[in-house]
A and B are shown apart, each in its own frame.
Chain A
Amino acid sequence: MELSNSEKLAFTANRSVLSLTSPTKLNIITGNGANKSQGLKRNSLRRTTSLNIRGSSAVNSVVKPDFNVPFRRQKISSHKLPLLNRSSSFFKERSGIEHSNKTDSMGDNAMKDSAGSNLMNKSTGTTPFERPSLTRTSSNIVFSLNRPALTKQESIDDLNDPYFYQTDRFIPLMKSNSQNKIDPIAGNDDLPPPNASPKAHLKAQTKIAFKETVAEACGFGAKQRILQYMPKAPVSSLTRKSYSLQNRTHYSYSSFTSSSQSNTKSHKDLMRLRKINTNPEKILDAPGFIDDFYLNLLTWSKKNILAIALSNTLYLWNGNSGDVSLLVEYDATNITSITWSDDQCHLSIGKDDGNTEIWDTETSTLVRTMRSNLGVRIGSQSWLNTLLATGSRSGEIQINDVRIKNHVVSTWEEHSGEVCGLEYKSDGLQLASGGNDNAVIIWDTRTSMPQFIKHNHNAAVKAIKWSPNIANLLATGGGQSDQYVHFWNTTTGNKTGSINTGSQVSSLHWGQSYNSSYASPYQSSNIHNDIKSDCYKFNNTLNREIVTTGGNPGNAISVFNFDTKYKVAEIENAHESRICCSQLSPDGTTLATVGGDENLKFYKIFDSKRKNIRRNKSVVDTEDILGLFTHNNDENNNHTQDHENTNLNNANNDTDKNIDNDQEVDYEDDTNLRTTRVTSRKTTDYLIR
């Protein structure tokens, strides 16, 4: 008995189970119920009711009402009360007699019930031969109905036996079974094979007749099923993109797959399109500004003093007070490059005649004049503490130590054209230079030898900037016939990426933006869950961006996302002629540009890093808390951790993230350390300011 029970259960499990709406199956239940005792009649009634709901609704709206339904049912169920009863107890009786044939013979018996024959007690003799001819559809139903009685192994003799209620209760179980497909065999009302016993034929005939009756009563054709296509209809694109429409900042580039990021996350595909103010915050007149691509005539100190060279004069503009002062005016020679020293007090001025002067801006006095003895203009400079690298028109790079008398400590001759871009890496181990010979050279400052020489650009390379976050990441931008920005891993010398800017790159700067606006409670409630979490991530995510200034066409300021390389913002016609130089404000938000139109304009481009640090310090930020609550717990934890990290050192944390994302770049061990140092330096700067 035990065995056969489990067999039966297993059998039932992988049989298809009736579905309410599928008459081909329904009928069997009803068939059983109809022939059964009063106790089961309750069962059959319920089923009938549920059927009628569907049936009558169908009837109401589609077919003419058929009021015969209840009548027929009653008629059918009014006789042969004891049958099920007998069958239930019958199982028990038989349990001792027959073991091997149990499963099938029970189905058999039930079939006989439904056939309305009185062969119940004889059916023990069901031949194995007959078994396959049993229509399988019926068997599962019968099993399910009988299951409780069988498992309990109690005799059910009383018509009002409580197990009938149990039977009743098991119906929903069957209904809840998701496997409600009819198997094709079951659907076919196959007649038994010709060699089957007359009983089987009679059974089959009765079954078909009954099916038709029920189906007719229910209002659909006997052989019909209603199928629903289960996958959900896609959400309308409006809803899908609602967040982007609200903010006009998100765009999905599904086709975009970053080659440099193998573990591209879903939110990586979401591009941010930023909104930046296309109107300058301030415009200053810059009369006499030399419209020369190769010169670096603008520099902005960390103390917020902007120096600009206009032909032969040098002006200082104090960003805090707005005061303008004249530092120096030369008689004949033009100024060709200016750079603030690392101590922010001294300004080096490269001149047309090849001399470099160092001025103390606090006292407005000339501290030192260093002669290059080359006789050609100094177009680019870069400071490293006491060292000043100067790039000359003839291609030499001189390293001057301002402390010693023979200031030229080394001269590097590798460029064959004017050196117009020059910048030390923050740790001083490397110097990147770009020249009019279209070459980018990365120098090893310890060996004074070129480490890498890159000829990927097709035009003069003036725009050179090291990434503030990743120590060995360098961005270089080419001139009019090149228009590309290339990214270099200066440890391995690999090019890690490129951007076609579509115009001359006269300068470029690294910047950042934060997606702080997306975590506002209103929006996050509207956004789909996973996106929501992404948004939250965004909220803490630094978007590394590049701003480039250009000339033809458009004279535009363009902002690119470093990770996606997509242009995320643009200020077209920022100047009336090409932009020659630009400098980023000490807080990293505002870009000062000066162009051939002799205007100095200030554009707010980036989000302030400082602001973000401050915001993270105040942990009890409503936005963030709301953001936290909208998340799953596990994510929540992560974010909380992230958050703490961010509090400690925002930039450092960002670097960590970048390392995670950017696999191709080969990081040096002390990357983090160095970045920390840089950051702390910056933080102090902010404090000073």
Chain B
Amino acid sequence: MSKGIDLKGSTRTISEFFEYSINSILYQRGIYPAEDFTTVKKYDLTLMRTHDDELKQYIRKILSQVHKWLLSGKCNKLVLCVVDRDEGDTVERWAFNVTHISKEPQESITEEVTPISQEETQKQIRALIRQITASVTFLPELENEGNYTFNVLAYTDADAIVPLEWSDSSSKEIEDGEMVEFRSFNTEMHKIGAQVSYKYQQ
């Protein structure tokens, strides 16, 4: 048991994963121009990460708050919505479900929680990020590139402490959208699942 990662470590892993996956999505979906991204080695993969300071700061600010929520176990979903700049419609919705394993013993059923090694987690993350990257192939093309922006939603417990920048929002679901479930990964304390829903176009 002891060789598994603790809550802090687990949260850090998750926050880090969020950062890379958000960056990947922004890059893959062309929300920001490719010139804004540089390659970094992570999870034994070559990932794209923005070097635009403003964007970096923006993502960091979001994730630092999410990190706090995760630490207190109050965040159970992070959603990245790709939003049409003009219409305000959500065209894609990337959701990451966070399940706190320790918190909800009834969900992890009766079986003993087997310690998950970091390597195992990394492997799972890699698989998940690969899937995200690969999803470009089936996602509908976003027309007029550069016309999209993104929103981040966090599903938190009602008693979470909420800083001023965050406010209640609708779930921004896509009506009549298609949904694709991705793999999930586990840390000792969390289980992260991912899915994308998108506007289905004929």
Residues of A within 8 A of B (CB): 19-24, 54, 57-58, 60-62, 178, 180-182, 184, 187-188, 220-239
The verdict on B197 contacting chain A, using a C-beta distance below 8 Å, is: yes
- For A20, the chain B residues whose CB sits under 8 A away are 168, 170
Beyond A228-B168, A229-B62, whether A223 also contacts B159 by CB under 8 A is yes
Q: From known contacts A57-B171, A228-B166, A230-B166, infer whether A236 and B33 are also in contact, taking CB-CB under 8 Å.
A: yes
Q: Are B168 and A237 in contact (CB under 8 A)?
A: no
Residues of B within 8 A of A (CB): 31-33, 35-36, 52, 54-55, 58, 61-62, 65, 76, 146, 149-162, 165-177, 179, 197
With A230-B165, A236-B32, A238-B146 as contacts: A225 and B173 at CB distance below 8 Å: no
Would A57 and B173 count as touching, CB distance under 8 A? yes
Complex Cα spacing A527 to B179, Å: 37
Interchain CB contact under 8 A, B197 and A229: no
The answer to whether A181 touches B168 (Cβ under 8 A) is yes
Flag if B158 contacts A187 (CB, 8 Å). Answer: yes
Instruction: Verify A229–B168 contact, CB threshold 8 A.
Output: no
* Contact present for B168 and A226 (CB under 8 Å): yes
Q: Which among B55, B146, B160, B167 is the interface contact of A233 at CB below 8 angstroms?
A: B55
Instruction: Please give, as numbers and ranges, the residues of chain B lying within 8 Å of A234 by CB-CB distance.
Output: 52, 54-55, 58
Chain B nearest CB: distance from A175 CB in Å?
11
Assess the B157–A225 pair: CB atoms within 8 A: yes
A60 to B176, CA, bound (A): 8
A182 to B176, CA, bound (A): 31
Q: Is the CB of A233 within 8 A of B149?
A: yes
Can you identify 16 A-B contacts, CB atoms within 8 angstroms? A19-B168, A20-B170, A22-B158, A60-B173, A61-B174, A180-B168, A220-B171, A223-B159, A225-B168, A228-B168, A229-B62, A231-B165, A233-B58, A237-B32, A237-B35, A238-B35
Question: B174–A228 contact, CB under 8 A?
Answer: no
Q: How far is the CA of A24 from the CA of B54 in the complex (A)?
A: 35
Give the contacting residue for B153; candidates A19, A180, A184, A228; CB below 8 A. A228
Residues of the A chain whose Cβ atoms lie less than 8 Å from the Cβ of B149: 232-233, 235
- When C-beta atoms are compared, the residue in chain A nearest to B34 turns out to be A238
Interface contact B58-A227, CB-CB below 8 Å? no
Beta-carbon contact of B32 and A61 below 8 Å = no
Residues in chain B near residue A21, CB distance under 8 A: 168-171
Question: Is the beta-carbon distance between B168 and A233 smaller than 8 angstroms?
Answer: no
> In the bound complex, how far is the Cα of B59 from the Cα of A3, in angstroms?
48
B76 CB contacts on chain A under 8 angstroms: 221, 224
| 9 closest residue pairs by CB, A with B | A228-B169, A187-B158, A187-B159, A19-B168, A234-B54, A238-B33, A24-B158, A227-B166, A236-B32
Nearest Cβ distance between residue A211 and chain B, in whole angstroms? 10
Please pick, from B58, B159, B161, the residue contacting A188 in the complex, using a CB distance under 8 A.
B159
Nearest CB of chain B from residue A607's CB, rounded to whole Å: 31
With both chains docked as a complex, state the minimum distance between the C-beta of B21 and any C-beta of chain A, in angstroms.
Answer: 16
Pair B33/A237 contact, Cβ less than 8 Å: yes
Residues of A within 8 A of B65 (CB): 229
Select which of B158, B165, B173 is within 8 A of A224 by beta carbon: B158
Write out the residue numbers on chain A whose beta carbons fall within 8 Å of the beta carbon of B157: 187, 223-225
- Asked if residues A229 and B154 are in contact (CB atoms below 8 Å), the reply is yes
CA distance A27 to B169 in the complex (A): 17
Contact of B171 among A24, A58, A187 (CB under 8 A): A58
Given contacts A22-B168, A223-B157, A236-B31, 13 further A-B contacts (CB under 8 A): A20-B168, A23-B158, A24-B158, A54-B171, A224-B157, A225-B157, A225-B168, A227-B154, A227-B160, A227-B169, A233-B150, A237-B32, A239-B146
Min Cβ gap B197→A in Å is 6
**A522: shortest Cβ distance to chain B, in Å?**
18
B161–chain A nearest beta-carbon distance, Å: 7
| A54-B171, A238-B146 as given contacts; A228 in contact with B36, CB under 8 Å | no
Q: Which chain A positions have C-beta within 8 A of B159?
A: 184, 187-188, 223
Rounded to whole angstroms, the CA-CA distance of A229 and B153 in the bound complex is 6
**Cβ of A181 and Cβ of B173 under 8 Å apart?**
no
